[in-house]
Amino acid sequence: MNNVVQLEAFESPLRGRRIRWFLAPGSPALYPPGFQEQLFLENPPFQRRILVTCSSSTEAWKLTDRWDTIFQPTAAMDWSLLLTFLLHQPQPCLVVCTPEVKVPPVLFQKLLPLGLKAPTIVCFQTLALPLPQVPVTFDATFFPPAKAVELTLMDAMHAALVQLISADKLGAFNIRDALKDLRGAGATLAVSTIEEPDPSLYWYYASETKTEGKSLLASVLQTLMSRGS
């Protein structure tokens, strides 16, 4: 029998976590479907919302939210200033980095001692090959809505999953079949180490509506597991 990948719903709290959120190429500068459900439903609400951008990022990101502060670091001293700023912000605090921003690993390292009292940092990244090497271990990685992942993105998604989860653990998991089934339920994939010591695969809602309900997802997940048997 081949290894079976069992998909569970992603329900872990994300406050104080480091998050990578993949966007499909050409996505607008908006919070992607599922983002607000994952980030904004926890209490208490974020006390500060901070945008980190760069010269190559579209100006539209500045209109995505009512940002309390917008940073555009261009040198090491700017990142040091941002770190000092973050250490003195009331928590919980949300930091959103546009896809073009390359966050230096030292920023994450300096925030580690704060544990879950650290700012919640979301790094958007465009899902495309070749995938850049990321010298940071994220607590959770979210993929674009299944309906947005066309055939041209399958290889990039597979490469990202292999980066996160060993090929042995992925077993007989078939991305094409999974996304085809999850698409109808308004769901897609995520990888997280929050609840498990090793990266594990989950599904999450990435749709504006959830009219299909859990019964459809239960059917989808049963189909996926039976294919791995």
Q: What's the pLDDT at 208? A: 57
| Segment 197-220, tens digit of pLDDT | 889 899 999 875 443 444 445 444
d(CA 149, CA 142): 13
| Domain CATH for 124 | 3.40.50
When divided into structural domains, the chain yields a total of: 1
Whole-prediction pTM? 0.87
Residue 229 lies in a domain: no
Range of the domain at 118: 11-167
Over the chain, what is the mean pLDDT? 86
Residue 74 lies in a domain: yes
d(CA 49, CA 90): 11
Q: What's the pLDDT at 31? A: 95
Q: How confident is the model at residue 150 (pLDDT cuts 50, 70, 90)?
A: confident
d(CA 35, CA 25): 17
